[in-house]
Amino acid sequence: MDESLYNELAKMIDHSLLHPTMTDQDVIEGCHLAMEYKVATACIKPYCTSMVSDILEGSGVGVCPVIGFPHGNSAISIKVQEAVKAALDGGTEIDMVVNIGKLLGEDWAYVSKEIRSINEAVNSNGAILKVIFENDYLEDRHIIQLCQICSENNVAFVKTSSGYGFVKQSNGMYSYEGATDHHLQLMRANSAPSVQIKAAGGVRTLEDMLKVKRFGVTRVGATATATMLDAARLMID
């Protein structure tokens, strides 16, 4: 692996700082890790957008607040307000969760209106939008339709999952798969070429990252940033 590929891999990563138990100090430390590894963005809870924007200023690492997170249930008007505030507070990329109940009910007019409204609000305030699908809850037909809606509305990215879309299993426990090979390939095949794909959930090793890259993924949500990029650095050294 040469230096240019390492840099390309680093800029594929949104370093995730979203766990509900993370304190301000945890977020600050995560921002410094994001700067050390020169990743694409730090993906953060919206309340700390201003703080993170100040920390990352001039570093080349973007600020990526999430809205409607993690279940997407707020009214469209509230999501729009949250998105605008996130952008005005320094967010350069905004990740949003679709209204999953509306999606599963196949109220496509509502889903399209929501995505269009938030995308327009984000773009008009100098940021770009990533739309989180939560694929563990969905059938292929839902994913295909969502890809088409996002393409029609010229969103920047479609994203597999929030990392918190847990599905109840037969034994009563909750789990999720996240970014599966099948779903990534389905999303790439059914999105416009201009729409990029973000894999979130389950990409924890350099091997995982290189695999999803082959599927056309250009961004990865990750907590294992150091593990993956340290492994890449060893391949250079």
159 is catalytic: yes
Q: Which of 79, 102, 130, 159 is catalytic?
A: 159
- Spatial CA neighbour of 127 closest among 197, 177, 63: 63
Retrieve residue 58's tokens. 């001039």
198 is catalytic: yes
Residue 72 near residue 80 (C-beta atoms within 8 A): no
113 is catalytic: no
Q: Which of 79, 102, 130, 198 is catalytic?
A: 198
Q: Which of 14, 79, 95, 102 is catalytic?
A: 95
Rounded Cα distance, 18 and 220, in Å: 14
- Spatial CA neighbour of 178 closest among 134, 143, 217: 134
Retrieve residue 56's tokens. 């990352």
- Spatial CA neighbour of 176 closest among 200, 158, 146: 200
Q: What is the set of active-site residues?
A: 95, 159, 198
